[in-house]
Amino acid sequence: MSGAVLVLEVALGAAAAAAGGLAPRNIRVRVAAALTAAACVAAIVVAVDVLGSGHPVAVRTAEILPLTGAGLVLGQLGAVLVSVTAVVAIAVCVYWPGYAHHGLSSRAASCVVPVFVTSMLVVLEAGDTVTFLVAWELMALSSLLLVLVDQDRREETRSAGQWYAVMTHAGAASIVLAMVLVSAHAGGHSFAAIRSQAGHLPGGVRDVALVLALVGFGSKAGVVPLHVWLPKAHPEAPSPVSALMSGAMVNLGIYGILLVGDRLLGGGPSWWWTAVVALGVVSALYGALQASAASDLKRLLAYSTTDNMGLVLVAVGVSGLLADGRHQTLGALAMVAALLLVVNHALFKASLFLSVGSIQAATGTRELDRLGGLVRRMPVTTAVFVVAALAVAALPPLNGFVGEWLLFQSLLHGLEVSGAVVGVVVSVAVAALALTGGLTVVAFVKAIGVGLLGRPRSPGAEAAREVPHGMQIGAGLLAALCMVLGVAPMLVVPYLERAAATVVAGGRSSVLRGGIELELSGLHGVLAPAWTAVGLALVAGVAVGTRDLVRRRPKRRVAEGWACGRELLTPRMQYTAASFAEPLERVFDDVLRPDRDVTVSHVAESRFFVERVAYRSSVGDVVERVAYRPAIRAVRWWGSRARALQNGSVHRYLGYGLVALLVVLVVLA
Partner 1 sequence: MTAPPDVAGAVLVAGAQILVVGVGGPLLLGLMRKTRSRLEGRVGPPVRQPLLDVRKLFAKQRIRPQCGSWLFAAGPIVLISTSVMVAGTAPLLTTRPALGQSTDFFGVVFVLLLGSVFLALAALDTGTPFGGMGASRATTIGALAEPALLVAVLAFSIPAHTSNLPALVRDGLSNPQVIASPGRILALAAFVVVVLAESGRLPVDNPSTHLELTMIHEAMVLEHSGPDLALVTVGESMRLALLLGLLVNLSVPWGIATASGMASLVVGAVALAAKVVLAGIAIATFEVFTAKLRLFRLPELLAGAFVLALLGVVTALVAR
Please, which of residues 452-481 interact with partner 1 by CB under 8 A? 453-455
Residues numbered 555-584 forming contacts with partner 1, rule: CB under 8 A:
555-564, 569, 571, 573-575, 579-584
Tell the smallest beta-carbon distance from residue 589 to partner 1 (Å).
10
Q: Cα separation of 368 and 295, whole Å?
A: 6
Residues numbered 501-520 forming contacts with partner 1, rule: CB under 8 A:
517, 519
Residues numbered 279-338 forming contacts with partner 1, rule: CB under 8 A:
292
Tell the smallest beta-carbon distance from residue 453 to partner 1 (Å).
4
Contact track, partner 1, 98-117, x by CB under 8 A = --------------------
C-beta of residue 42 within 8 angstroms of C-beta of residue 90: no
Q: Cα separation of 87 and 537, whole Å?
A: 28
Return the CA Rg of the chain: 27
Out of 56, 98, 231, 437, the only residue in the binding site for partner 1 (CB under 8 A) is 437
C-beta of residue 248 within 8 angstroms of C-beta of residue 84: yes
Residue 442 lies near partner 1 (rule: CB under 8 A): yes
Three-class SS state of 609: coil
Out of 228, 264, 321, 430, the only residue in the binding site for partner 1 (CB under 8 A) is 430
Tell the smallest beta-carbon distance from residue 588 to partner 1 (Å).
9
Residue 488 lies near partner 1 (rule: CB under 8 A): no
Tell the smallest beta-carbon distance from residue 518 to partner 1 (Å).
8
Tell the smallest beta-carbon distance from residue 432 to partner 1 (Å).
8
Tell the smallest beta-carbon distance from residue 560 to partner 1 (Å).
6
Residue 409 lies near partner 1 (rule: CB under 8 A): yes
Part of the chain binding partner 1 (CB under 8 A), chosen from 120-128, 129-137, 150-158, 444-452: 444-452
Residue 423 lies near partner 1 (rule: CB under 8 A): yes
Residues numbered 385-404 forming contacts with partner 1, rule: CB under 8 A:
386, 390, 393-396, 401, 404
Q: Which is nearer to partner 1, 551 or 651 (CB)?
A: 551
Short-list 541, 401, 389, CA closest to 478: 389
**DSSP for 427-486?**
HHHHHHHHHHHHHHHHHHHHHHHHHTSSS--SHHHHT--PPPHHHHHHHHHHHHHHHHHH
Part of the chain binding partner 1 (CB under 8 A), chosen from 315-323, 355-363, 427-435, 496-504: 427-435
What is the amino acid identity at position 302? A
Residue 355 lies near partner 1 (rule: CB under 8 A): no
Tell the smallest beta-carbon distance from residue 308 to partner 1 (Å).
17
Tell the smallest beta-carbon distance from residue 309 to partner 1 (Å).
20
Q: Which is nearer to partner 1, 96 or 580 (CB)?
A: 580
Q: Cα separation of 342 and 415, whole Å?
A: 23
Q: Residue 106, Cβ neighbours under 10 Å: how many?
A: 15
Residue 373 lies near partner 1 (rule: CB under 8 A): yes
Residue 144 lies near partner 1 (rule: CB under 8 A): no
Count Cα neighbours of 408 within 13 Å in the Cβ-side half-sphere: 16
Q: Which is nearer to partner 1, 64 or 516 (CB)?
A: 516
C-beta of residue 287 within 8 angstroms of C-beta of residue 224: yes
Q: Which is nearer to partner 1, 551 or 641 (CB)?
A: 551
Residues numbered 638-667 forming contacts with partner 1, rule: CB under 8 A:
none
Three-class SS state of 476: helix
Tell the smallest beta-carbon distance from residue 233 to partner 1 (Å).
28
Residues numbered 534-553 forming contacts with partner 1, rule: CB under 8 A:
535-536, 539-540, 543-544, 546-547, 550-551, 553
Residue 610 lies near partner 1 (rule: CB under 8 A): no
The 518-520 sheet, strands edge to edge: 512-513, 518-520, 526-527
Q: Which is nearer to partner 1, 214 or 511 (CB)?
A: 511
Tell the smallest beta-carbon distance from residue 339 to partner 1 (Å).
19
Q: Which is nearer to partner 1, 43 or 450 (CB)?
A: 450
Distances (CA, A) of 245 to 34, 60, 120, 156, 230: 20, 28, 10, 18, 9
C-beta of residue 331 within 8 angstroms of C-beta of residue 213: no
Q: Cα separation of 438 and 584, whole Å?
A: 11
Q: Cα separation of 291 and 303, whole Å?
A: 5
Residue 64 lies near partner 1 (rule: CB under 8 A): no
Tell the smallest beta-carbon distance from residue 356 to partner 1 (Å).
18
Residue 483 lies near partner 1 (rule: CB under 8 A): no
Q: Cα separation of 103 and 94, whole Å?
A: 15
Handedness of CA 437, 340, 282, 233 (dihedral sign): negative
C-beta of residue 292 within 8 angstroms of C-beta of residue 441: no
Residues β-bridged to residue 513: 519
Out of 55, 107, 154, 376, the only residue in the binding site for partner 1 (CB under 8 A) is 376
Residue 431 lies near partner 1 (rule: CB under 8 A): yes
Residues β-bridged to residue 367: 296
Short-list 273, 260, 347, CA closest to 314: 273
Tell the smallest beta-carbon distance from residue 449 to partner 1 (Å).
3
Tell the smallest beta-carbon distance from residue 550 to partner 1 (Å).
7
SS3 sequence, 373-426?
Answer: CHHHHCHHHHHHHHHHHHHHCCCCCCHHHHHHHHHHHHHHHHHHHCCHHHHHHH
